[in-house]
Amino acid sequence: MKELSNAHPAKVREYIRRNEWRKPTSGLANGFTQANLVILKKELAFEFLLFCQRNPKPCPVIDVTEPGSPVPQLVAPDADLRTDLPKYRIYRNGELVEEVDNIISYWEDDMVAFLLGCSFTFEKALLDNGIPVRHIECGTNVPMYKTNIPCVKAGRFEGPMVVSMRPIPEKDVVRAVQVTSRFPAVHGAPVHIGNPESIGIQDLQKPDFGNPVPIKDGEVPVFWACGVTPQAVAMQVKPELMITHAPGHMFITNLRDEQFGVL
Amino acid sequence: MKELSNAHPAKVREYIRRNEWRKPTSGLANGFTQANLVILKKELAFEFLLFCQRNPKPCPVIDVTEPGSPVPQLVAPDADLRTDLPKYRIYRNGELVEEVDNIISYWEDDMVAFLLGCSFTFEKALLDNGIPVRHIECGTNVPMYKTNIPCVKAGRFEGPMVVSMRPIPEKDVVRAVQVTSRFPAVHGAPVHIGNPESIGIQDLQKPDFGNPVPIKDGEVPVFWACGVTPQAVAMQVKPELMITHAPGHMFITNLRDEQFGVL
């Protein structure tokens, strides 16, 4: 693990491809950007890309492959999306049917792979600014909630925005907004600060996905748009076949987190 | 004119729809964002959207309509893109065949309209910061140049980036970078500063589009990605039918320029 935490992404992906790393990717290839994966058939690709374009906060597109190509030309032209993630999920008609460690036998020549920015990038920026990230301290998954905020519809794709929550000390809230605003390509600024009820969240201790985290005195719950949104929305369309990364088992790009910073 | 310069976009579009305004839109509905228009058949829409997604500096997408709908839901849900621009250009197989003041008779139910950010937004930000914009002073079109910078290919769409040039006083160059970086959704930061030869421009006084402008002592040529790029690239594909705005005759959205500012 220690060897891979400061390795170049190409080396880490080699380990993963040979099935020598089958665990979550958090902490690997430090400083390089990790991404969510959604694979759909070309027939749905335009509508899904449009959905992402209309909802850039939950669905920040960082690369889309040519139909039939498993190579993300922009962010890792030496990679293969069929083998270079440690774990995949196969959904048929909206139902999870299998978890696999490569998708070579599932790949078809009309498939389009979407890589979407993930929260690891802005969490690193928070940590670099001395702002604590509770679920990392706890070693658990970030708590995620369905909200009453509708995404903007695109064709068949529609549904509510899913958000992740991090409790931020009052004195750091303004800085947390500034720091994450630098990264619009990876969820960017928060979507809500302070009143969970206003966005349809009844109980912070009962997240819809992930694990609850303690909120200390003097901390404010801050909510960011979450990359689970596009998967949840795509699932509702019940596509014949959809493939995603398994939670936490991300794709590691060749781009550095800082390259996504505006100014 | 004076009446329309501070009017709400809906009022200006009403004038345009009734053919009571048939001139360029620069200076109308001050403070509201204007946009380039490209209309293609659905068959090409995914590749074109992908091209824009891969080349966000020259092709900053601000809205895309549902196939068949002429209504830009995100930026002006009360508008009709078939009538609300003062002048359109009709291209058949890559050739300009006609200029018209509405496209009702050309509209088909498999058309997709793309609205792309335009330089008016960041030019206003430059002016608001006391930075001169030469072609506005001269009352001419901004000079534009084909470069040797390749766009990232997407399907059939490929070609060089077109840039616009504004001579900036040396003391203002850093501020010009900062000011325009706030607006990534409308071309954003410059793509080059200082050496036209390095990006394949031989003679600044011979632009490929628009008009040359004088460069004074102590000024540096600064280059921004230009919205002519996607039209030029789309034209090379020679689509059976493509419709665009006529140069300078833009679509006026309901969104304010400042709403596109990051921080």
Residue B72 in tokens: 């830009």
With a cut of 70, say whether residue B241 has pLDDT above it. yes
pLDDT of residue B236: 86
Q: Which A residues in the span 107-166 are in contact with B, Cβ-Cβ below 8 Å?
A: 152, 154-155
Per-residue CA distances from B100 to B37, B70, B82 (Å): 14, 17, 11
pLDDT of residue A247: 87
Q: What share of chain A is helix, strand, coil (3-state, %, to 5)?
A: 25, 25, 45
With a cut of 80, say whether residue B256 has pLDDT above it. yes
With a cut of 70, say whether residue B179 has pLDDT above it. yes
With a cut of 70, say whether residue A218 has pLDDT above it. yes
A21 falls in which pLDDT band (50, 70, 90)?
very high
**B2-117+233-260 in CATH: which number?**
3.40.1640.10
**A120-230 in CATH: which number?**
3.30.2040.10
CB contact under 8 A, B49 and A54: no
With a cut of 70, say whether residue A107 has pLDDT above it. yes
**Residue boundaries of the structural domains of chain A:** 2-118+238-256, 120-230
Report the alpha-carbon distance of residue B11 to residue A137 in Å, rounded: 55
Mean pLDDT of B232-254: 92
With a cut of 90, say whether residue B232 has pLDDT above it. no
pLDDT of residue A130: 94
Report the alpha-carbon distance of residue B90 to residue B107 in Å, rounded: 11
pLDDT tens per residue across span B108-161:
999 999 999 999 999 999 999 999 999 999 988 899 999 999 999 999 999 999
Mean pLDDT of A21-43: 93
Query: Side-chain half-sphere of B198: how many Cα atoms within 13 Å?
Result: 8
Instruction: Tell the residue number behind the tokens 């769409």, with chain if given.
Output: B157
Question: How many Cβ pairs within 8 Å bridge chains A and B?
Answer: 43
Sequence-ordered strand ranges (E) for A83-183: 88-92, 95-100, 111-117, 144-150, 160-169
pLDDT tens per residue across span B49-81:
999 999 999 999 999 999 999 999 999 999 999
Select the CATH number that applies to the domain covering B120-229 from these four: 3.30.2040.10, 3.40.50.150, 3.60.70.12, 3.40.50.360.
3.30.2040.10
pLDDT of residue B152: 95
Number of Cβ within a 10 Å radius of residue A174: 11
**A2-118+238-256 in CATH: which number?**
3.40.1640.10
CB contact under 8 A, B64 and A54: yes
Distance from the B39 Cα atom to the nearest Cα atom in chain A, whole angstroms:
15
ipTM: 0.78
Number of Cβ within a 10 Å radius of residue B150: 11
pLDDT of residue A261: 87
Q: Which of B49, B61, B74 is opposite residue A46, by nearest beta carbon?
A: B49
pLDDT of residue A263: 77
Contact B164, B144 (CB under 8 A): yes
Taking the Cβ of residue B61 and every Cβ of chain A, the question of whether any pair is shorter than 8 Å is answered with yes
